[in-house]
């Protein structure tokens, strides 16, 4: 009876060992499978983020380039007698009866120039204005009157909603419209004063690019001949001005995998002068 009891104990002990081994094998298999699935999930998330970042960078830099190409000063197109004249905010040109340029004056005001930071701007907890510039629709005073419109474009680097976790920002564009009427001014658009007014109603606000780690802005300039005029006394005068090229590079970082960084850039020759903020 004792032997039978011991034999039964031996059989039960062997069964328990086999069960433990089976449990360990199953746990090991499931652990390896979980690691494989988790790795696949993380790689899939990286792929989705990369696709999203590429799309946002491509569309965002394109949107910035399109607006920079439209930079312009206010202009008046009016009819004087039988002649049609174009008056610019920045330049005042005087012609004689034959159409010869007699004088050219360039306004020194910088209130409607493109304003841009220069250098590398890192993501921060405080909003940073990257750029501010005007895009203008001319004022038309020909057969009928149509007022002009200044669209102020403000590019801001704002902290992301999850900035406390990922430390990244986003590029936001804000557009405000301002109507101008120069019929009461002596020199039409050239007589305009003032600049950007933050109290203007925001007509359009949109996030262009997310997960931004840093932005690099460079502004280059070169001298360009603006005009040659001859006075009635025969004196020849030349006026030069600077032509500006603005280059923007945006770099995005994966909020989970900080080693994954991707960037894109655009470079545009603008149609206004530029004020550079260090």
Sign of CA dihedral 196, 226, 266, 252: negative
Q: Are 189 and 134 in contact (CB under 8 A)?
A: no
Residue-level pLDDT at 5: 47
**Residue 149 in tokens:** 């419109």
Beta strands in 11-147 (DSSP E): 75-80, 83-88, 91-95, 101-106, 114-117, 119-122, 128-137, 139-141, 145-146
Pairing of strands 114-117, 274-277: parallel
- The rounded distance, in Å, linking the Cα atoms of 149 and 138 is 7
* Nearest in space to 223 (alpha carbons), one of 243, 246, 238, 245: 243
Give pTM, 2 decimals. Answer: 0.81
Spatial neighbors of 255 by CB under 8 A, at least 6 apart, are 49, 162, 165, 166, 168, 211
Residue 100 to residues 10, 17, 105, 132, 247: CA-CA distances in angstroms?
A: 118, 107, 15, 36, 37
Give the model confidence (pLDDT) of 157-201 as tens digits.
999 999 999 999 999 999 999 999 999 999 999 999 889 999 999
* Nearest in space to 274 (alpha carbons), one of 122, 154, 115, 69: 115
Residue 98 to residues 87, 102, 149, 234: CA-CA distances in angstroms?
A: 18, 10, 33, 15
Q: Are 68 and 61 in contact (CB under 8 A)?
A: no
Helix (H, G, I), strand (E, B) or coil at 190: helix
CA 76 to chain centre: 29
Residue-level pLDDT at 14: 53
Sign of CA dihedral 222, 224, 226, 227: positive
HSE toward the beta carbon, residue 41, CA cutoff 13 A: 6
pLDDT tens for the chain, 278 residues long, are 455 544 554 444 557 777 777 778 778 887 777 777 767 677 678 889 999 999 999 999 999 999 999 999 999 999 877 778 889 999 888 777 767 777 788 888 999 999 999 999 999 999 999 999 999 999 999 889 999 999 999 999 999 999 999 999 999 999 999 999 999 999 999 999 889 999 999 999 999 999 999 999 999 999 887 777 777 777 887 888 889 999 999 999 999 888 899 999 999 999 999 999 87
**Residue 194 in tokens:** 């003032």
Q: Are 242 and 224 in contact (CB under 8 A)?
A: yes
Residue-level pLDDT at 6: 46
Domain boundaries of the chain, sorted by first residue: 39-277
- The rounded distance, in Å, linking the Cα atoms of 102 and 121 is 46
């Amino acid at each position: 009876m004792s032997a039978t009891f011991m034999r039964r104990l031996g059989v039960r002990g062997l069964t328990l060992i086999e069960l433990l081994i089976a449990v360990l094998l199953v746990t090991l298999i499931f652990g390896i499978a979980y690691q494989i699935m988790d790795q696949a999930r993380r790689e899939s998330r990286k792929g989705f983020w990369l696709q999203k970042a590429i799309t946002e960078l491509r569309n965002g830099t394109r949107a910035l380039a399109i607006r920079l190409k439209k930079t312009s000063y206010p202009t008046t197109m009016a009819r004087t007698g039988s002649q049609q004249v174009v008056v610019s905010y920045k330049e005042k040109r005087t012609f004689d009866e034959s159409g010869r340029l007699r004088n050219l004056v360039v306004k020194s005001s910088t209130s409607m120039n493109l304003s841009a930071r220069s250098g590398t701007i890192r993501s921060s907890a405080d909003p940073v204005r990257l750029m501010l510039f005007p895009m203008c629709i001319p004022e038309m005073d020909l057969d009928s009157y149509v007022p002009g419109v200044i669209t102020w474009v403000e590019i801001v680097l704002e902290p992301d909603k999850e900035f406390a976790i990922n430390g990244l920002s986003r590029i936001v564009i804000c557009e405000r419209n301002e109507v101008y009427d120069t019929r009461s001014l002596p020199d039409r658009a050239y007589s305009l004063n003032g600049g950007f007014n933050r109290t203007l109603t925001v007509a359009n606000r949109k996030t262009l690019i997310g997960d931004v780690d840093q932005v690099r802005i460079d502004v280059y300039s070169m001298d360009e001949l603006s005009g040659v005029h001859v006075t009635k006394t025969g004196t020849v005068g030349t006026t030069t001005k600077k032509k500006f090229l603005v280059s923007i590079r945006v770099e995005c970082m994966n909020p989970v995998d900080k080693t994954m960084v991707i960037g894109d850039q655009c470079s545009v020759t603008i149609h206004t002068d530029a004020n550079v903020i260090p």
